[in-house]
C-alpha cells in the first residue's frame, strides 16, 4: 500500500506520481534538507519547530497529510519554480542511486503539477 499524487480530473490517463509511505517521507526529508531545515524538527514530524519559522514555498507539500486532501492549482503554481530549481541544482551533484531517485521524483511531481495547472484541477493525495 502506498500514496499517489494525481490530478483531480478523474482521467485515468493523467500523469501521477506514487511512493510507499516510507518513500514519501524520505522524499519530503530530502526536500526539507534542500530547503535548509530538518523535517524531523518540525511540528507534525516529531519536533516542536513551528512551520512559520521556515521560509519555503514548499510548505504546503511538506506539511500535508500523507493520504488525504489536495493542493489547489495556485499552490502548485507557487511551488513549481522552486521544485524546478531544486531539480536543476541537484541533478549536477555527484550522487548515488537514492539521489537520482529523488531528482526523478521531483521531475515526476513537476509533470503532474503542470498538468494540474493546465487542466485547472487540484492535486489529490490518495
pLDDT in tens, 60-115: 999 998 878 999 999 999 999 999 999 887 555 566 788 889 999 999 999 999 99
Q: Give the closest residue to 2 by CA, choosing from 22, 27, 29.
A: 22
Query: Residue 92: its pLDDT value, please?
Result: 56
Query: Residue 19: its pLDDT value, please?
Result: 95
Residues 6-34: pLDDT tens digits?
999 989 999 999 999 999 999 999 999 99
Query: Residue 68: its pLDDT value, please?
Result: 87
Phi, psi of 116 (to 5 degrees): -60, -40
Convert 14-27 to b/e letters by CB count within 10 Å (16 or more is b).
Answer: ebbbebeeeebbbb
Amino acid at each position: 500500500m502506498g500514496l499517489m499524487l494525481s490530478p483531480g480530473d478523474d482521467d485515468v490517463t493523467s500523469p501521477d506520481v506514487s511512493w510507499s509511505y516510507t518513500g514519501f517521507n524520505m522524499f519530503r526529508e530530502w526536500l526539507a534538507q534542500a530547503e535548509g531545515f530538518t523535517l524531523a524538527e518540525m511540528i507534525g514530524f516529531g519536533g516542536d519547530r513551528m512551520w512559520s519559522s521556515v521560509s519555503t514555498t514548499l510548505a504546503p507539500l511538506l506539511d500535508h497529510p500523507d493520504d488525504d486532501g489536495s493542493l489547489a492549482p495556485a499552490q502548485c503554481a507557487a511551488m513549481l519554480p522552486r521544485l524546478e530549481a531544486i531539480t536543476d541544482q541537484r541533478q549536477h551533484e555527484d550522487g548515488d542511486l537514492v539521489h537520482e531517485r529523488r531528482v526523478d521524483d521531483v521531475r515526476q511531481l513537476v509533470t503532474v503539477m503542470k498538468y494540474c495547472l493546465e487542466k485547472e484541477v487540484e492535486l489529490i493525495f490518495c
